[in-house]
Amino acid sequence: MILKTFTQHPADVGETYGEHLVHASGFGFRMIWAGLACVLHGVFPFLFIKTGSKQIAHLHDRMVANRTKLPDGWSYII
């Protein structure tokens, strides 16, 4: 039962636990990087002018492309 809680969602999107860990971590680290770039841009407006918006667009494109793997497209349990 406990194992299923770790493997159900990855299986729903066609990934193993390890694959899901890598993809989700990649998203998370990219969001952290983009957030730091946005903070630095706020302090120094001449730095990272398009970095935040480019990262958001990139992550959105990846997420939309992978969303079709889900049965109904929005099967998220938070």
Cβ–Cβ under 8 Å, residues 30 and 57: no
Tens digits of residue pLDDT in 16-48: 999 999 999 999 999 999 999 999 999 999 999
67 band by pLDDT with thresholds 50, 70 and 90: low
Mean pLDDT of 47-62: 92
By C-alpha distance, which of 65, 70, 54, 62 is closest to 24? Answer: 62
Residue 53 lies in a domain: yes
Residue 46 lies in a domain: yes
C-alpha span between 40 and 2 (Å, rounded)? 41
Residue 10 lies in a domain: no
Answer whether residue 68 shows pLDDT above 70.
no
What is the pTM assigned to this prediction?
A: 0.71
Contacts of 68 (CB under 8 A, 6+ apart): none
How many structural domains compose the chain?
1
Can you give the residue range of the structural domain that contains 71?
A: 25-78
Residue 18 lies in a domain: no
